Structure 1
Amino acid sequence: MSSNTFKQAAEAARSKTSAMNKQSSEAVSAVKNDFLHTPVMRAALPFINGGISGMVATIVIQPIDMIKVRLQLAGEGGTTGPRPSPLSVTKDIIAQGKALDLYTGLSAGLLRQAVYTTARLGFFDTFLKGLSARAKAKGRDVTFVERASAGLAAGGIAAFIGNPADLALIRMQSDGLKPVAERKNYKSVIDALSSIVKSEGVTALWSGATPTVARAMALNVGQLAFFSEAKAQLKAHTQWSPLSQTLTASAIAGFFASFLSLPFDFVKTRLQKQHRGPDGKLPYRSMTDCFIKVAKQEGLTRFYRGFGTYYMRIAPHAMVTLIVVDYLGWLTQ
């Protein structure tokens, strides 16, 4: 057999192999696309992408959240005494243990995102698509009020569902403030939840649910509604890249989310951290009672203590969450 014959045979084999590989790749791509575009997956993807993005963001900002909680609990019940700063709180945490203590409650934080952010972003996207379809049918754009309504509804539903994980997170992060003999030393979020149920009952898992829901509704109006509106305005009035629009819109949303939700977040932290005293009574009876007592005993400005830290927790979390969810949306479109 001549060398030309060998060459022709080799080229034919390569062409056949290349064609088979191409067909295989196209088949895999078709299966993938068909799966992603099934009605069930199209409905589920906003929830799946939202949960993943929230968990990634939590891993990034967990130390800031830990510092924020400690700042809110410092000096409870009075206006005198030392005024801690984010730096002093960080130093204290590290001095008492190790740098990894800044990640205390991470398992609870991840569970919270798996439940809360999955629900809030999923519901918001679902509600907004419905509102967009209705607005398009009427020949108009979605209004800011409609975006805000979608944010309120999504935030309220998700916060109620995720309250047990949020409660466990606060208990784990505040445990280190107690005397050593009184600490629970929770091993994980499951340990924290089971401990709360055993000692306080199942209904205790929804302690602080009212301010948690109020906080989530305020935060979602600030974050999702303002982000959606800011991005729409930037897209219409600037020539910026999509990434620049997303970063700027998320920074704007982070500020409004922080400003609107911090007082509720403060009260939520106080209510979820509280325990019954020797007389069997809780320090605060309700969200309103907590607002009144803190205002009288500690002053109105106490509600905004740690605003900078809170913003540094909300804005990066919003940026990471929204960038990741945008990217996942692009991958699964």
Structure 2
Amino acid sequence: MSTVKQSAQAATTSDVVGTAKSATAETVTAATDFLHTPAVRAALPFTNGGLSGMVATTVIQPIDMIKVRIQLAGEGKAGGPKPTPLGVTRDIIASGKAMDLYTGLSAGLLRQAVYTTARIGCFDTFMGRLSARAKEKGQTVGFSERASAGLAAGGLAAMIGNPADLALIRMQSDGLKPVVERKNYKSVIDALGGIARNEGVAALWAGAAPTVVRAMALNFGQLAFFSEAKAQLKARTEWSSKTQTLSASAVAGFFASFFSLPFDFVKTRLQKQTRGLDGKLPYNGMVDCFAKVAKQEGIFRFYRGFGTYYVRIAPHAMVTLLVADYLGWLTK
């Protein structure tokens, strides 16, 4: 009788365990099947790109704030002040509080949710199609194709994300104005609404030309050189995947900074400007801004703050690409 009972209990336990394992396996399979549906596979590069960009922006927002303040210092003067990153940081903290370094974070996150979602998503989509086409022909994707994918992805994303980028610059530069002239934006929505009401909806695309060119230059330097550097390191070294990713992103950060900083400088000046008492703007567009800055402040002014800009771009690239790689691994 005891043996019969034990056998029954064992059978029952076995059934329960088997059922639990089966249910777990079905759950995992369902989750895997969901991740591999065509719609989800198409959306994942964009979702992963946006999330990785938002994480990176949260990390480097104080550096971006300092970079903008350095670019706006000494506007219209050949000599002018030559602020240092430490000096700017000290001034910001002395005039308010440490959290002022995170001014415009909501705009930065919105920008990443729009801009990085589009640029990394488009780049991954373009590269996927290029890789498939190359594989059919028994070839590999070349640097020129990587560069074209980076340029196209950057330009498209910049046009979509320009309003959030404009709001970010306005929020970060607001503290430089006299107290009576400050807008004291409460959030990115407040900034976007105020700009649209006071200056017109079209004003949300102020500085769009240098923003697009900057994004194309930055993506050419970042995504194309990252993709190429990682491919070269994979072929020529025995380094771990994580080391290859870090090294390639550092290389990409340098080239992204070098190619894009002049356009980033002009973009900042154009997006910060407002009409004077005479109703005129200081600059009449990208070319006019380049010409006036070169004449009044010198050609090297475009590369002022290169170190700060690199420190802003390289870690952002590293964090973005590492998080994107990790999310890609999780959802493969």
TM over 0.5, shorter chain: yes
- Could you list the per-position Cα deviations for residues 188-208 of structure 1 after superposition, in whole angstroms to 9, with x for gaps in the alignment? 000000000000000000000
Partner amino acid, structure 2, of 1:101: D
Cα distance, 1:6 vs structure 2? 4.9
Counterpart of 2:50?
51
Q: For the residues of structure 1 that align with 2:269 and 2:313, how far apart are their CA atoms?
A: 19
**How many matched pairs?**
332
Counterpart of 2:251?
252
Partner amino acid, structure 1, of 2:261: L
Partner amino acid, structure 1, of 2:83: P
Counterpart of 2:154?
155
Counterpart of 2:238?
239
Cα distance, 1:19 vs structure 2? 1.0
Partner amino acid, structure 2, of 1:116: Y
1:205 aligns with 2:227: no
Counterpart of 2:309?
310
Q: For the residues of structure 2 that align with 1:32 and 1:57, how far apart are their CA atoms?
A: 28
Contact 2:85 2:308 in 1 (8 A): yes
| Larger displacement relative to structure 2 (46-55 or 22-31) | 22-31
- Once the two structures are superposed, the pairs formed by residues 295-306 of structure 1 within 5 Å of their partners are 295-306=294-305
- Once the two structures are superposed, the pairs formed by residues 167-316 of structure 1 within 5 Å of their partners are 167-316=166-315
- Could you list the per-position Cα deviations for residues 208-253 of structure 1 after superposition, in whole angstroms to 9, with x for gaps in the alignment? 0000000000000000000000000000010000000000000000
Partner amino acid, structure 2, of 1:66: M
Cα distance, 1:11 vs structure 2? 3.1
Cα distance, 1:79 vs structure 2? 2.3
Cα distance, 1:5 vs structure 2? 4.8
Cα distance, 1:138 vs structure 2? 1.7
Q: For the residues of structure 2 that align with 1:121 and 1:239, how far apart are their CA atoms?
A: 27
Q: For the residues of structure 2 that align with 1:49 and 1:301, how far apart are their CA atoms?
A: 37
Counterpart of 1:140?
139
- Could you list the per-position Cα deviations for residues 62-97 of structure 1 after superposition, in whole angstroms to 9, with x for gaps in the alignment? 000000000000111102233110000000111111
TM-score, normalisation: structure 2: 0.98
Q: For the residues of structure 1 that align with 2:217 and 2:251, how far apart are their CA atoms?
A: 15
Partner amino acid, structure 1, of 2:191: A
Cα distance, 1:14 vs structure 2? 2.7
| Secondary structure in 1 matching 2:52 | helix
1:24 aligns with 2:39: no
Cα distance, 1:9 vs structure 2? 3.9
Partner amino acid, structure 2, of 1:169: L
| Larger displacement relative to structure 2 (25-34 or 106-115) | 25-34
1:88 aligns with 2:87: yes
Structure 1 unaligned regions, length at least 5? none
Q: For the residues of structure 2 that align with 1:16 and 1:96, how far apart are their CA atoms?
A: 69
Cα distance, 1:10 vs structure 2? 3.8
Partner amino acid, structure 2, of 1:215: R
Contact 2:73 2:80 in 1 (8 A): no
| Larger displacement relative to structure 2 (133-142 or 162-171) | 133-142
| Secondary structure in 2 matching 1:135 | helix
- Could you list the per-position Cα deviations for residues 41-61 of structure 1 after superposition, in whole angstroms to 9, with x for gaps in the alignment? 111110010000000000000
Q: For the residues of structure 2 that align with 1:115 and 1:302, how far apart are their CA atoms?
A: 30
- Could you list the per-position Cα deviations for residues 259-297 of structure 1 after superposition, in whole angstroms to 9, with x for gaps in the alignment? 000000000000000000111000000100000100011
Partner amino acid, structure 1, of 2:225: F
Q: For the residues of structure 2 that align with 1:39 and 1:97, how far apart are their CA atoms?
A: 50
Q: For the residues of structure 2 that align with 1:33 and 1:268, how far apart are their CA atoms?
A: 43
Partner amino acid, structure 2, of 1:95: A
Partner amino acid, structure 1, of 2:262: P
Contact 2:253 2:317 in 1 (8 A): yes
| Secondary structure in 2 matching 1:24 | helix
1:78 aligns with 2:77: yes
Q: For the residues of structure 1 that align with 2:8 and 2:170, how far apart are their CA atoms?
A: 72
Contact 2:119 2:153 in 1 (8 A): yes
Contact 2:48 2:117 in 1 (8 A): yes
Counterpart of 1:34?
33
Counterpart of 1:164?
163
Structure 2 unaligned regions, length at least 5? none
Q: For the residues of structure 2 that align with 1:280 and 1:82, how far apart are their CA atoms?
A: 27
| Secondary structure in 2 matching 1:81 | coil
RMSD: 1.0
Partner amino acid, structure 2, of 1:271: L
Q: For the residues of structure 2 that align with 1:238 and 1:322, how far apart are their CA atoms?
A: 20
